[in-house]
């Protein structure tokens, strides 16, 4: 029998409910969703005020090269950058400067 701990991982998605469902769930894993993180930091509802990856990057001042969205590799890189900014508090500091 395989050790369940071997399935442990860290997964980052942007609106990844369908991906997780297709994968059959991700037991023993840390799962983060950048859309949900943004909604929590902004104090808004992800269901009523969803944010796309492009707009999230714009909000966080992440440079998105032309024609690079909706390419799996580019989206993964942009999502990772957004995750790091939100997880490390860089987003909070950036919003404080604007306000």
User: Residue 84: what pLDDT?
Assistant: 94
Judge whether residue 3 has pLDDT over 60: no
- The string of pLDDT tens digits covering residues 29-45 is 899 999 989 988 888 87
- C-alpha to C-alpha distance for 49 and 61, rounded to whole angstroms: 20
- C-alpha to C-alpha distance for 8 and 90, rounded to whole angstroms: 27
Closest CA to 55 of 64, 44, 67, 42: 64
Judge whether residue 25 has pLDDT over 60: yes
Q: Which residue has the higher pLDDT, 88 or 71?
A: 88
Q: How far is CA 10 from CA 6, 28, 30, 74, in A?
A: 12, 9, 5, 19
- The string of pLDDT tens digits covering residues 35-80 is 989 988 888 877 777 889 999 999 999 988 877 667 888 889 999 9
Is this structure's pTM higher than 0.85? no
Closest CA to 41 of 85, 97, 99, 98: 85
Judge whether residue 99 has pLDDT over 50: no
């Amino acid at each position: 029998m395989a050790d369940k701990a071997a399935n442990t991982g860290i997964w980052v998605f942007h609106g990844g409910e369908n991906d997780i469902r297709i994968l059959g769930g991700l037991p023993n894993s840390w799962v983060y969703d950048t859309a949900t993180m943004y909604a929590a930091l902004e104090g808004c509802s992800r269901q009523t005020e969803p944010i796309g990856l492009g707009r999230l990057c714009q909000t966080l001042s992440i440079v998105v090269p032309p024609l690079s969205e909706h390419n799996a590799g580019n989206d993964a890189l942009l999502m990772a950058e957004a995750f790091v900014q939100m997880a490390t508090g860089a987003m909070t500091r950036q919003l404080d400067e604007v306000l």
